[in-house]
Amino acid sequence: MRIRYMKEAPRILADSPWVIADGRTYRGEWARSFDSRMEEICLEVGCGMGRFIGEMAARHPEQGWIGLERIGSVLARGVKRLEAAGEGEDRPNLRFLLGDAAELGEIFQEGELSRVYLNFSDPWPKERHAKRRLTAPTYLDIYRKILKEDGILQMKTDNEILFDFSLARLQEKGWQILRQSRDLHGSGILPDNVMTEYEEKFAKQGKQICFLQAAPRSLAKDS
């Protein structure tokens, strides 16, 4: 999908109280970035315009929620939507970052996150681009480090090729698959499911949504 450039995006992001300019300044102390100390910090990688993470923050005010998005124009539109609806003021536990998933190890300390969410990530369908997929081994190693030992990686996608790739890489890297379904909406496996913009669109088109939750092994067992 073509992303329209938003000229005022840098200003919107710079002026927003929910956008952290440099996540590295909070590495190991992310609870400090919120109005109150949070026992659990959750991250959505590729949050788009923030519909999913905004709703999760509203449902779980006791947890800190961080959305990472690499495209400034997309994130700025999400911030504008929050401002227009007045929703951001009701979500002191919500933060956004503009950046790339490859930088997560520099932004979060080992074991700092309770959950990592991957919602409808770019499938990078060509095999030569497989290393760019957010469930490629390089990224799984990053998630393992920044997740707590009892942390969870959750993924949703409409792309079965990406889903099969992800399952295979997770199993190769020793992750434990906790739950999975190739028909999330029909399975009832996630009764409190929060849909993203893409998910709602795909559901209306009758597409089945693939879903998984996985847990990393203890880092101590990797040596």
Fold entry, domain 13-222: Rossmann fold (3.40.50)
DSSP states along 116-128: EEEES-----SGG
With contact defined as beta carbons under 8 Å apart, do 112 and 41 qualify?
yes
With contact defined as beta carbons under 8 Å apart, do 79 and 12 qualify?
yes
**Catalytic member of 122, 141, 150, 222:** 122
pLDDT tens across the length of the chain (223 residues): 456 777 788 898 998 888 998 999 999 999 888 866 788 999 999 999 899 999 999 999 999 999 999 999 999 988 888 887 766 566 889 999 999 999 999 999 999 999 999 999 999 999 999 999 999 999 999 999 999 999 999 999 999 999 999 999 999 999 999 999 999 999 999 999 999 988 999 989 999 999 999 999 754 444 3
For the entire predicted model, the pTM comes to 0.92
By C-alpha distance, which of 176, 210, 196, 206 is closest to 55?
A: 196
Dihedral over Cα of 24, 11, 83, 99: its sign:
negative
Q: How many CB atoms lie within 10 A of CB 80?
A: 16
3-state helix, strand, coil in the chain (%, to 5): 40, 20, 35
Active site residue 122: yes
